[in-house]
Structure 1
């Protein structure tokens, strides 16, 4: 199952890269032939808005608890990588010629699953615990952009985020199968992308790494699947398409 998710992610990214490369090669050739600069006045706008569509691959960075080495009922605990998607809005404010301030709130559907190899109640049993998340994510980023090359430019982003998990189970009743996670998380984001200027909109493919800093694991020594985990930190790779006006 994990390999299938990973192959699906690579296929998605491959098609996105092919599309971006096609646009990158085709648009400058068009500019050179016709000398038309699209949306030339856009660079002077103090602010503008857009929408975001994205695919994500998420997992946990897992730290094992000391009790994991002291017992033999659970032999292996590992994070799994799974696919999800994002929907969001975008607000961009111009700070200077090369710097913008960007706010990109998103609704993120993700699943960070855990794999266990157990000796109890049956020996050599494989178990997968699904930890589904519906995140309200609020990233605030600084955007560093290059000069325009015809109807294209390159940019990088860096910033901080705050996440609120609508599906968190931290307050769930006791269940021996639970691995509880907190409602809130915070972290950092870094990435890079391209802006392709068309006559009436900007098409921006972007890759970014979005990682949590805080420990989202709610440790409960009474829950056997949770007891062997010390910390969980969220990890996410995101490919986004921004449509901006």
Structure 2
């Protein structure tokens, strides 16, 4: 038993020595990486380009119409969230120290909007809970003003805000023009705001970013003859976006 105890003590001692050794090596490598600044003249570029890959979580924010209180056939209307992917190009112009102007046209796929209706008088054709899905494929044109912090070795934080214009390519599809579906307009204007981080690698800059992208327009094309549309007044898009941007 005594021998086993000594073996355990020696093993723990050697393990601690290894942890200290590898921690020391890691700190040395980190310090070396911090001293070697990648592409130190990057901020002197008048402009540069890149690619953007995004995942978004989106829904429609509704405002009820007074007809909702008068219509006793629908007890509640709840919006649902859905996810989608976006692929875009990035073009950034250097305006002044700490300030840049960025344009990111992108195609947003998926992210169909939907509402769940609770019906007071369900039938065989219309169950108590009705889910109405609105297909969506959007071309978005955001224009953003970026404020960059000072660069700390190969790392930097930035904040951005701007305006966007969205055009829904699915607005004229047969699925969207179904008689029992809530109609949306083709165009939407909105704002964006978020925060991101620049990691300067030897040949590329990787920038994870999170932002809100909300519509300001009422995109609901109300149909008084459709009960699912009649109870809704305004609909505005709401989106939370996580992006990875690769830039030169």
Alignment CA distance shift 1:111-1:221 (3 Å): same
C-alpha contact (below 8 Å) 1:169/1:181 kept by paired residues:
no
Alignment CA distance shift 1:74-1:45 (3 Å): same
**CA offset at residue 168 of structure 1?**
1.6
Q: Which residue of 2 aligns with 1:86?
A: 86
Identify unmatched segments of 5+ residues in structure 1.
Answer: 1-26
Is 1:131 aligned to residue 134 of structure 2? yes
Q: Which residue of 2 aligns with 1:118?
A: 119
**CA offset at residue 121 of structure 1?**
3.8
Q: Which residue of 2 aligns with 1:12?
A: none
Aligned positions of 1:25-104 closer than 5 A: 30=29, 32-34=31-33, 35-104=35-104
Aligned positions of 1:209-228 closer than 5 A: 209-228=212-231
Identify unmatched segments of 5+ residues in structure 2.
Answer: 1-25
* Aligned mates of 2:240, 2:64 — CA distance in 1: 23
Q: Which residue of 2 aligns with 1:191?
A: 194
Aligned residues, how many? 218
Q: C-alpha offsets along residues 44-64 of structure 1, whole Å, 9 cap, x if unaligned?
A: 000000000000000011001
C-alpha contact (below 8 Å) 1:169/1:180 kept by paired residues:
no
C-alpha contact (below 8 Å) 1:170/1:181 kept by paired residues:
no
**CA offset at residue 238 of structure 1?**
0.1
Alignment CA distance shift 1:115-1:136 (3 Å): same
**CA offset at residue 30 of structure 1?**
4.5
With the length of structure 2 as denominator, give the TM-score of the two structures: 0.83
With the length of structure 1 as denominator, give the TM-score of the two structures: 0.84
C-alpha contact (below 8 Å) 1:53/1:86 kept by paired residues:
yes
Secondary structure of 1:133's match? coil
**CA offset at residue 120 of structure 1?**
3.3
Secondary structure of 1:95's match? strand
RMSD of aligned Cα (Å): 2.0
